[in-house]
Structure 1
Amino acid sequence: MDLGLWIAAGLLAAVALTGGITKTFVPRAKLAAAHGGGWTGDAGDGFVKTLGVLELLAAAGLVLPAVTGVAPVLVPVTAVCWILLMVGAMITHGRRGETAFLVLNLFYLVIALVVAVGRFGPGSF
């Protein structure tokens, strides 16, 4: 179980890191032109950059507390925060009729739910 939770948290961390780097460092106009990034055309620069920074923090929060042994309870807390972020993403993509991205966000939400339940419960540190 522990290995599965590590893999799930690592997968989410990789997704968060990729999205965070993209939203933080790629210009919003370029994001808006990319497949799946159309929603950024309707959002402000500050909002997109803030989401990017939050995703970078999520990437760190899903792995570093457990690796360092410093406040490992932050791993499931971060997973819960990721769930909330995915709910927002699902609402955004749902409003835009982007079903494929809505399903992808649901997949990430389920993985985060597994990490949160597992690390708060039987697989806690």
Structure 2
Amino acid sequence: MNVFLWVVQILLAVAFVAAGAGKLTQPKEKLQPRMPYVEEYSQQQLRGIGALEVLGALGLVLPWATGIAPVLTPIAAAGLGITMIVAAQVHRRRKESFAVNLVLLAMAVVVAVGRI
């Protein structure tokens, strides 16, 4: 079970680092062709979302890997799960697909429950 959880944690962390880094480093206009929902948010809000995603990804891996405050790993997973619930609602309201959000939510729930 530990190996399975590590695989899920790492895949989830990679997904959130990639998504968050894009929001942190790219201007809103450059993100819009791939992420049409960004039109609803300011550049600062997108940077904040990106920072939360990157920090959540680090929280998925670092505490458990280092043994320093490993309780933070399921908390980070739960926080990213909440982020995916909110993201799914945004996509649903915009009549966009939110399947990816549900997959990431399921992965976050597996990590949160598995690491408690």
Task: Identify whether the pair has TM-score above 0.5, normalized to the shorter chain.
Answer: yes
1:15 matched residue in structure 2: 15
1:62 matched residue in structure 2: 60
Deviations 1:32-56 (A, max 9, x none): 122xx11101211111000000011
Say yes or no: does 1:115 pair with 2:116: no
2:41 matched residue in structure 1: 43
How far apart, CA to CA, are the structure 1 residues paired with 2:106 and 2:7?
14
How far apart, CA to CA, are the structure 2 residues paired with 1:33 and 1:20?
16
Taking structure 2 as the reference length, the TM-score comes to: 0.97
Which AA in structure 1 matches 2:86?
Answer: G
1:74 matched residue in structure 2: 72
How far apart, CA to CA, are the structure 1 residues paired with 2:5 and 2:68?
18
Deviations 1:17-74 (A, max 9, x none): 001110000110111122xx11101211111000000011011100000111100011
% identical equivalent positions: 39
Aligned length: 116
How far apart, CA to CA, are the structure 1 residues paired with 2:64 and 2:103?
23
How far apart, CA to CA, are the structure 2 residues paired with 1:92 and 1:71?
33
Q: Which ranges of structure 2 fall in alignment gaps of 5 or more residues?
A: none
1:106 matched residue in structure 2: 102
Report the Cα offset of residue 14 of structure 1: 0.3
RMSD over aligned CA atoms reads 0.7
Pick from 88, 91, 95 the counterpart of residue 89 of structure 2.
91
1:31 matched residue in structure 2: 31
Taking structure 1 as the reference length, the TM-score comes to: 0.90
